[in-house]
């Protein structure tokens, strides 16, 4: 598992969904089950392509326990769908960071998700797409 810490969240990049459970040393995370995950991967699936949520040991008094974004590399297919997957999780993160206050923060929520997606695509994943 690759862990990259940002000011407001932690990015976790795993080879498969099982790495998320192993990283936190848990069998259950936010309604997900490691045993179901194992079975789904064994059957040829990914179980989850990504997940954004509070740290499983969330404690408002501990600033080290930031929200996380997990991206499952097994779900990446090498085309525009990778960008969509990243954007999907960044929207979840942005909503979480803005405490789901959409009415007051709609443009900020969208702009944050867009900026983080662009950064991750170009700087972390080094994805280059050229429109023809």
The DSSP 8-state label assigned to residue 72 in this structure reads: E
Asked if residues 88 and 50 have their Cβ atoms less than 8 Å apart, the reply is yes
The DSSP 8-state label assigned to residue 27 in this structure reads: S
The closest of 105, 118, 111, 72 to 91, measured between CA atoms, is 111
* Residue-wise pLDDT tens digits, 90-117: 999 999 999 888 899 999 999 999 999 9
Q: What is the mean pLDDT of the chain?
A: 90
In a domain, 48, yes or no: yes
In a domain, 11, yes or no: yes
Q: What is the pLDDT of residue 132?
A: 45
In a domain, 131, yes or no: no
Token pair 């008094």 is at which residue? 61
Q: How far apart are CA 8 and CA 66, in angstroms?
A: 7
Total structural domains within the chain: 1
pLDDT at 127 over 70: no
* Residue-wise pLDDT tens digits, 54-66: 988 877 677 678 9
In a domain, 100, yes or no: yes
* Residue-wise pLDDT tens digits, 3-37: 999 999 999 999 999 999 999 999 999 999 999 99
* Residue-wise pLDDT tens digits, 113-125: 999 999 999 888 8
Q: How far apart are CA 96 and CA 100, in angstroms?
A: 6
pLDDT at 128 over 80: no
In a domain, 132, yes or no: no
Domain that holds residue 109: 2-124
In a domain, 129, yes or no: no
């Amino acid at each position: 598992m690759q862990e990259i810490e940002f000011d407001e969240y932690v990015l976790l990049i795993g080879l498969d969904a099982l790495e998320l459970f192993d990283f936190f040393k848990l069998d259950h995370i936010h309604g997900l089950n490691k045993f179901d995950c194992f079975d789904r991967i064994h059957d040829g699936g990914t179980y989850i392509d990504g997940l954004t949520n509070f740290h499983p040991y969330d404690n408002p008094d501990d600033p080290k326990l930031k929200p996380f974004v997990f991206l499952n590399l097994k779900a990446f297919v090498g085309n525009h769908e990778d960008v969509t997957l990243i954007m999907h999780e960044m929207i979840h993160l942005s909503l979480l960071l803005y405490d789901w206050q959409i009415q007051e923060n709609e443009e900020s929520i969208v702009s944050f998700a867009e900026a983080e997606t662009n950064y991750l695509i170009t700087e972390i994943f080094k994805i280059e797409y050229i429109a023809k």
